Amino acid sequence: MRLSLDTLAAANALKPAYDPAALDIGVVHFGAGAFHRAHQAAYFDALAVADKRWGICGVSLHSAGVRDALKPQDGLYTLAILDEEISYRIIGSMREVLVGPEDIEAVFERLTRPSVGLVTSTVTEKGYCLAPDFSLDLQHPDIAHDLANPQTPKSFIGYVAEGLRRRKQAGLKPFVLIPCDNLPKNGVRLKEAVTVFAGQSDHDLALWIHENLQCPCTMVDSITPATDDALRTRVAEAIGVADAWPIQREAFTQWVIEDHTHDGGPDWESVGVTITDNVPAYERAKLRLLNGPHSTLAYMGLHRGYESVSKAMKDAELADIVRKLMIEDVVPLLEAPKGLDLVAYSEDILTRFRNPAIVHKLAQIAWDGSQKLPIRILSSLTEALDRGQDIHRLCLPLAAWMRFIRAQALSGEPLTDPLVDELIAIGTTCQDDLGDVSRFLSLRAVFPETLATDATVITGIEGAYAELLKREAVFA
Ligand code: CS2
């Protein structure tokens, strides 16, 4: 028996306390992947009990997988919350999923509905098509395509700009645009990117967007490992009905949104969203104290032969490096959001990393390193350098990433990264000596000139690289 509105009553799980079919579409979400369904969709599910306006139309920009899995289930899916206690909750807020390339006009129809007040996104760092300085990359193939073909976009930016153009033309106000990816100042960057995109062909539209679009910065957090068959089996056994695409996450969840004047929006705080005028402080703390250590564990952990975050955390030496990196190297660089003790925050994150109920694959976190490392590690490295702080630990994840790329290049296994070709070319020509470091440092899309030519940085990364080579020799 498959999960659907007809079988919902039989599911042995917490069920929506509202009729999912009665929800209006009020949100268009780009990137209907696991994180969205674990995080924002769960908040909209909680909102739906008192407010029927915020049903979600998910848009997948590439594949039809989520639509094909959820359509026969009337959009319902199971959220498995894996912690000391394990619970299963059916989420009813995802009302439909469209597939961009197949349903372009339907996506624009939703984007121009007066009742659609919010557009949210989890398109990953690379989905914003930004250059290393975080401005819109006009040379990006998808952006170049969308500028030439605005009615049939490929990129998230292209969809939003054309959606806004059509709203302006129809005399509607813009939707509120809420990015939910791990980018610093995500709202500022996104608004700039959409405005610059629009300004390439329509100055008035760019001005209208500049003056009217609300695009708050946000911080989102909840550890969400990818779905696998083990989860499907576990969910089917626990709830008694089959679900083609359940989602798993830890119990911890946090959503911080910049205070903004959005009349008629959802009652965010009633479902636990924090509304504040200091999102950057939360954002920096999370990017540097959760995501940075995550990437550190990923590259160093894979180097040591571990598969998951909790397994890597059992390596006392590695766990100690990560803890010191957080508390001794990164915390002193940060301003704490009001009421948050950054050391306690770090310890709580380390406890979350140890969660034995979650198998969070290091290989999943290792994706897209060229996009993640500048935000997660190089930001701290640059500031630590400016302050004359010791940088040796911050160099370890960078060196480990270089060894990871080298190993991927040798193995011939696919690498998921927008710079895959450049990275594999460097990885293949590595000689397994310190000369490799300068090959990687020449990648301007990752290492800005000032860092790549700094003697302390070069020595720091070479030292870390030498340590890793030595370790490989010992364990060979
Ligand atoms: C992780 C994040 O995959 C990754 O790069 O660091 O997805 C992380 O699990 C989330 O940001 C937690 O909120």
CATH of the domain at 336: 1.10.1040.10
Contact predicate 254/248, CB 8 Å: no
Q: Give the strand pairing for 218-221 and 254-258.
A: antiparallel
Backbone angles phi, psi at 60, to 5 degrees: -95, 130
68, 129: one domain: yes
365 CA distance to ligand 1 middle (Å): 7
Q: Is 446 within the bounds of a domain? A: yes
Cα end-to-end span (Å), the chain: 50
Q: Which of 276, 297, 312 is the last residue of a domain?
A: 276
Structure tokens at 223: 């550890």
**Closest CA to ligand 1's atom 1:** 365
Alpha-carbon gap, residue 273 to 43, rounded angstroms: 8
Would you tell me the crossing angle of helices 316-324 and 292-303 to the nearest 10 degrees?
150
**Closest CA to ligand 1's atom 5:** 365
Give the pLDDT score at 475.
Answer: 85
183, 128: one domain: yes
236, 308: one domain: no
250, 399: one domain: no
Give the pLDDT score at 453.
Answer: 98
Structure tokens at 476: 């060979």
Q: Which of 214, 246, 276 is the last residue of a domain?
A: 276
Hey, which of 224, 250, 282, 349 would you mutate to test ligand 1's pocket, going by the most ligand atoms within 8 Å of its Cβ? 224
250 CA distance to ligand 1 middle (Å): 12
242, 290: one domain: no
208 CA distance to ligand 1 middle (Å): 34
Q: Is 1 within the bounds of a domain? A: no
388 CA distance to ligand 1 middle (Å): 29
Atom of ligand 1 nearest to the CA of 39: 13
Looking at the structure of the chain, the number of domains it has is 2
Q: Is 435 within the bounds of a domain? A: yes
Q: Is 3 within the bounds of a domain? A: no
Q: Is 365 in the pocket of ligand 1 (CB under 6 A)?
A: yes
247, 373: one domain: no
Alpha-carbon gap, residue 113 to 97, rounded angstroms: 16
| CATH assignment at residue 140 | 3.40.50.720
Alpha-carbon gap, residue 383 to 397, rounded angstroms: 16
Helix (H) / strand (E) element for 95: namely: strand 94-99
Contact predicate 189/125, CB 8 Å: no
Total Cβ atoms within 10 A of residue 174? 20
Alpha-carbon gap, residue 322 to 331, rounded angstroms: 12
Give the pLDDT score at 182.
Answer: 95
Domain membership of residue 368 as a residue range:
280-475
Q: H helices within 151-257, ranges in order?
A: 156-169, 186-199, 203-212, 229-239
Q: Which of 252, 276, 300 is the last residue of a domain?
A: 276
Contact predicate 155/205, CB 8 Å: no
Q: Is 26 helix (H, G, I), strand (E, B) or coil?
A: strand
Alpha-carbon gap, residue 175 to 55, rounded angstroms: 15
Query: pLDDT of the chain along its 476 residues, tens only?
Result: 999 999 999 999 999 999 999 999 999 999 999 999 999 999 999 999 999 999 999 999 999 999 999 999 999 999 999 999 999 999 999 999 999 999 999 999 999 999 999 999 999 999 999 999 999 999 999 999 999 999 999 999 999 999 999 999 999 999 999 999 999 999 999 999 999 999 999 999 999 999 999 999 999 999 999 999 999 999 999 999 999 999 999 999 999 999 976 678 999 999 999 999 999 999 999 999 999 999 999 999 999 999 999 999 999 999 999 999 999 999 999 999 999 999 999 999 999 999 999 999 999 999 999 999 999 999 999 999 999 999 999 999 999 999 999 999 999 999 999 999 999 999 999 999 999 999 999 999 999 999 999 999 999 999 999 999 999 999 87
112, 140: one domain: yes
399, 266: one domain: no
Q: Is 364 in the pocket of ligand 1 (CB under 6 A)?
A: yes
Helix (H) / strand (E) element for 41: namely: helix 40-47
235, 295: one domain: no
Give the pLDDT score at 58.
Answer: 98
DSSP structure class, residue 150: T
186, 286: one domain: no
**Closest CA to ligand 1's atom 3:** 365
**Closest CA to ligand 1's atom 8:** 223
Q: Is 434 within the bounds of a domain? A: yes
Q: Is 414 within the bounds of a domain? A: yes
Give the pLDDT score at 476.
Answer: 78
Q: Is 2 within the bounds of a domain? A: no
Atom of ligand 1 nearest to the CA of 294: 6
285, 248: one domain: no
399 CA distance to ligand 1 middle (Å): 20
Atom of ligand 1 nearest to the CA of 221: 13
Q: Is 218 in the pocket of ligand 1 (CB under 6 A)?
A: no
331, 363: one domain: yes
220 CA distance to ligand 1 middle (Å): 9
